[in-house]
């Protein structure tokens, strides 16, 4: 079956994707007192904790409006990490459904990513409100937000396809991803500015531009920096790194999707 046929079939099941996204969003806030408001309270509480730890205790108070600085990176990171975690488990968690009903298996990780994207968008007003209260200006560069979001969605979907496939055959994947995502968090400029990463460090006598390689090897670092440029600093983003990240994200998406399609016929017997 060709890739075009798979995409056409996936489009035919777009209503299923929509229903799964709505189901995930309803399940997220079911029996919750705060309901949808929890999508605002959760990042706010995390922001308070990280502000106390990294701004006050770690002495980063020289950054203006540090809560805004932190929140504009923390929100997209929460979207990425939660989406990858849920996408990783999406096939295994839906084992009874997979064994009984035919549908394109890729709708499960796609729904996991899209539901978290919607939750990310729901939480954005709290960021803009905080920026307004603290006097952090939002400039016209914020209109580039959809570009960065599309790049992040592509990368997240690609990673989700790969980890979902691995988790079907190796159930330790879920546990390993928990550790990897924690390490990934600290290797991404979320609670610290990218400028604190040295642009020159000597490894075994060889000078290395650590900042450039961090952006090259960690697409989320470039994505987070783009969000911060347009939402916090109010300037244009680094287009060269963002373009490379867009190409990398598209490549990860294509490779992840092809891997997923290759092994998906075996999902029914493995789960």
User: In this predicted structure, what is the pLDDT of residue 224?
Assistant: 94
| Torsions phi, psi for 201 (to 5 deg) | -140, 140
User: In this predicted structure, what is the pLDDT of residue 268?
Assistant: 84
What DSSP string describes 85-149? HHHHHHHHHTHHHHHH----TTHHHHHHHHHHHHHHHHHHHHHHHHHHHHT----GGGGGHHHHH
User: In this predicted structure, what is the pLDDT of residue 18?
Assistant: 92
CB atoms within 10 A of CB 148: 23
pTM: 0.91
The pLDDT tens digits along the chain (271 residues) read: 677 888 888 899 999 999 999 888 887 766 655 566 666 677 777 777 777 766 665 555 577 888 899 899 999 999 999 999 999 999 999 988 888 888 899 999 999 999 999 999 988 988 999 999 888 989 999 999 999 999 999 999 999 999 999 999 999 999 999 999 999 999 998 888 877 777 776 677 677 777 777 777 899 999 999 999 999 998 888 777 788 899 999 999 999 999 999 999 999 888 7
């Amino acid at each position: 079956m060709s890739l075009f046929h798979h995409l056409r079939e996936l489009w035919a099941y777009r209503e299923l994707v929509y229903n799964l996204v709505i189901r995930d969003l309803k399940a997220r806030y079911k029996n919750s007192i705060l309901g949808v408001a929890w999508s605002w309270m959760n990042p706010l509480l995390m922001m308070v904790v990280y502000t106390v730890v990294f701004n006050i205790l770690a002495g980063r108070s020289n950054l203006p409006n540090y809560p805004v600085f932190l929140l504009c990176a923390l929100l997209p990171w929460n979207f990425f990490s939660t989406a990858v975690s849920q996408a990783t488990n999406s096939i295994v968690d839906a084992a009874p459904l997979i064994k009984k009903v035919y549908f394109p298996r890729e709708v499960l990780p796609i729904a996991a990513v899209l539901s978290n994207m919607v939750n990310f968008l729901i939480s954005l007003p709290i960021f803009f409100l905080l920026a307004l209260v603290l006097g952090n200006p939002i400039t016209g560069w914020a209109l580039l937000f959809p570009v960065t979001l599309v790049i992040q969605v592509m990368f997240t979907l690609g990673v989700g396809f790969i980890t979902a496939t691995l988790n079907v055959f190796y159930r330790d994947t879920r546990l390993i991803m928990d550790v990897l995502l924690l390490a990934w968090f600290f290797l991404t400029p979320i609670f610290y500015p990218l400028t604190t990463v040295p642009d020159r460090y000597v490894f075994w006598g060889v000078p290395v531009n650590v900042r450039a390689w961090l952006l090259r090897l960690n697409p989320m670092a470039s994505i987070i920096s783009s969000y911060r440029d347009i939402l916090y600093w109010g300037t244009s983003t680094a287009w060269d790194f963002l373009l490379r990240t867009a190409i990398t994200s598209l490549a990860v998406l294509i490779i992840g999707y092809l891997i997923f399609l290759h092994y998906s016929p075996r999902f029914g017997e493995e789960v």
